[in-house]
Structure 1
Amino acid sequence: MNASEYFRAKLQFEIDVMDVADAVPGSLVVVDTRRQSSWDHGHIPGAVHMPTARIPELAAVLVPPGSRVVVYSWGPGCNGSTFAALAFAELGYSVKEMIGGIEYWIRNGLPVETVSGAHAERPDPLVTAEPVIRPYS
């Protein structure tokens, strides 16, 4: 495989944080693959919580067949979403890994949901050049 083939293939299996944020509602099933305490700390509004180890058991129950799945974990320093993407792929799902994870979701100023509701932080100017304003609902 040459460099061009590698990068073309890589782009088929990754999705950018902003592409997930801009996706048509309901077109993707976004899955948070982190542990319960991380989910409770904050997650993408509307995401499904499914820790990686439970994907084989829960995928068919929580994700309709034929769904386009996007998985995420903490961030670039964590490969949990890679393991989760592999698990979904082995179950036959169309799956992409959200690069940057929730860390870059938050750094882009996108909303995060907790038990107290949704909130967003100020965008990190090192990550996004434009202010991002997203509704919380």
Structure 2
Amino acid sequence: MTTHHISPALRVPPAPPAEAAAFFAARLSFQADVSDVHAALESDDPGFVLVDSRGEEAWAQAHVPGALHLPTAAIPERAASLLDPAVPVITYCWGPGCDGATRAALAAARLGFHVKEMIGGIEYWIREGFPVEEANGVARRAADPLTAPVGAVHCAC
């Protein structure tokens, strides 16, 4: 008697293609990766405002050049005076282990802003070798070869 082996990765089978397409399209409408955000910020018109939702100490430690500092807790009181409702917002926080950018995106969306979250946060921004603004100016670290291709500007995915 032969037993059929089921892959641990397929114990729950993939969704039907149409459902998968809808899911992945929706996911992309809610998230942007650091490489795409960086490429957009390097252009003349990124088409969005990047919001760092972390607190003062984190902002002072390092932040994405050109980002707007708007801590999550301050969004309900300050967003209307700092953000243009016609310009999409992309939020970021520390990284994948932090849901601060998600909470900031939720707060902005509840106020009527079009919003996405930068997945990976500042952690992956730094790990991919993109510049950060620190107390002494702009710094750039070497890209982590586990998160970014060595010698390339982006992953080309």
- Tell me the TM-score normalised to structure 1 length: 0.91
Match of 2:117 in 1: 97
Instruction: Indicate conservation of the 8 Å contact 1:109/1:132, yes or no.
Output: no
Match of 1:15 in 2: 32
Q: How does 1:52-91 map to 2 (within 5 A)?
A: 52-91=72-111
Q: Which has the higher contact order (CA 8 A, sep 6+)?
A: 1
Q: Which amino acid is the alignment partner of residue 64 of structure 1?
A: D
Instruction: Indicate conservation of the 8 Å contact 2:85/2:114, yes or no.
Output: no
Task: Specify every segment of 5 or more residues in structure 2 that has no aligned partner in the other structure, as ranges.
Answer: 1-14
Identical positions, percent: 50
Post-superposition Cα deviations, 1:18-74, rounded to whole Å, max 9, x if no partner, equal 110011344220000001100000000010001101001111111122111100000
Matched residues, number: 133
Residue 31, structure 1, aligned to residue 51, structure 2? yes
Task: Specify every segment of 5 or more residues in structure 1 that has no aligned partner in the other structure, as ranges.
Answer: none
Instruction: Indicate conservation of the 8 Å contact 2:51/2:91, yes or no.
Output: yes
Q: How does 1:110-125 map to 2 (within 5 A)?
A: 110-125=130-145
Match of 2:8 in 1: none
Match of 1:42 in 2: 62
- Following the alignment from structure 2 to structure 1, what is the Cα–Cα distance between the partners of residues 134 and 57? 11
Larger radius of gyration: 2
- Following the alignment from structure 2 to structure 1, what is the Cα–Cα distance between the partners of residues 97 and 137? 27
- Tell me the TM-score normalised to structure 2 length: 0.80
